Chain A
Amino acid sequence: MKRQIPALRLRLPSIEKKPKPVYAARWTDFAAVSRDQALRSELLNIIRGIESGVGVPEAHYRAGIDRDRDDLLEDSGIMHLHLGGKDSDILVFLIQYADRVVLLETNTHVHFRTRPAGKNILALSQSWLTNLEHDIQIAAGQAQAAVNESERADAEAQRDRIAASIAGFKRKAGID
């Protein structure tokens, strides 16, 4: 059975070039990146790039980004970046939302070998992610309601201006 993936997880092949805060709520370093100074620097650099809006350097995206399907991204909304080169087996798994990025874990390609892909990613079975996405959804709903209200108020003001203008024209023209 296919899992329900919240629409708010973006499924873009790359990180958007606009500033997004990066969170590591329940981060686990399964790939032991912490033991390698070069990989640690790469990870910190990726975070800086996302937070500043510069984006992530091309070297961290997978090799077949333009031609291959990424099952994990398309089915579960989980993106991965490579540390140590495009073909490396050290990956950072994350979720990109419109307004933030959440880091999940480092690992190898192990999550691509399960069916469905990524079914053993810890975060997918943990309550914090469900709660976070619920929170994002509520915030998005509130923001949309505020926009709708603002648009409605603008439309009413515009209608009143037009009505006043027509009334003025009629007065000048001696109509009524």
Chain B
Amino acid sequence: MPQHKSKPPSASLGRSTVPKQPTRIAAKEQTIEERLLAKAKVADTIDVMKQRSLGQMTIEEQCRILFGE
């Protein structure tokens, strides 16, 4: 007996049949990426607290920080 294959509802309406699974994965990956970014930010703020004071730097280093050169 031939098996009956039902079309997905979206196909019957003429919509594109984009599989849902990859979309969910992409959303999950983005969340992980955001979490990694957040972690990096935390690490960054901790580094700020450990940095040397301006007086411990050379004039060149001071200028790089203060004047962006």
A residues in contact (CB < 8 Å) with B: 21-27, 29, 33-34, 40, 43-44, 47-48, 51-52, 100, 103, 127-128, 131-132, 135
Inter-chain contact B65/A27, CB cutoff 8 Å: yes
B37-64 CB mask vs A (1 if < 8 Å, else 0) is 0000110111011010111100100110
Please judge, given known A-B contacts A44-B62, A51-B55, A128-B44, whether A29 and B49 are in contact too, CB under 8 Å.
no
Contact of A47 among B48, B51, B54, B68 (CB under 8 A): B54
Residue of B nearest to A50 (CB): B55
In the complex, what's the smallest C-beta–C-beta distance from B34 to chain A, in angstroms? 15
In the complex, what's the smallest C-beta–C-beta distance from A166 to chain B, in angstroms? 51
Q: Using a Cβ–Cβ cut-off of 8 Å, how many residues does chain B contribute to the interface with A?
A: 20
Please judge, given known A-B contacts A127-B41, A128-B48, A131-B49, whether A24 and B56 are in contact too, CB under 8 Å.
no
Task: Using A23-B51, A132-B45 as known contacts, list a sample of 17 further A-B pairs with CB atoms less than 8 Å apart, ordered by residue number in A.
Answer: A21-B56, A22-B53, A22-B54, A22-B55, A23-B48, A24-B54, A27-B66, A29-B67, A33-B67, A34-B66, A34-B68, A48-B55, A51-B53, A51-B54, A127-B45, A131-B45, A132-B48
Contacts of A25 in B (CB 8 A): 48-49, 51
Contacts of A26 in B (CB 8 A): 48
B residues in contact (CB < 8 Å) with A: 41-42, 44-46, 48-49, 51, 53-56, 59, 62-63, 65-69
A33 to B63, CA, bound (A): 11
Contacts of B49 in A (CB 8 A): 25, 128, 131-132, 135
Contact of B59 among A44, A100, A103 (CB under 8 A): A44
Which among B42, B55, B63 has the highest number of chain A CB atoms within 10 Å?
B55
Contacts of B63 in A (CB 8 A): 40
Contacts of A100 in B (CB 8 A): 53
Task: Return the 8 tightest CB-CB contacts between A and B, nearest first.
Answer: A21-B53, A51-B55, A34-B67, A128-B45, A25-B48, A131-B45, A22-B54, A128-B48
Inter-chain contact B44/A23, CB cutoff 8 Å: no
In the complex, what's the smallest C-beta–C-beta distance from A80 to chain B, in angstroms? 16
Contacts of B62 in A (CB 8 A): 44, 47
Inter-chain contact B67/A40, CB cutoff 8 Å: yes
In the complex, what's the smallest C-beta–C-beta distance from A86 to chain B, in angstroms? 22
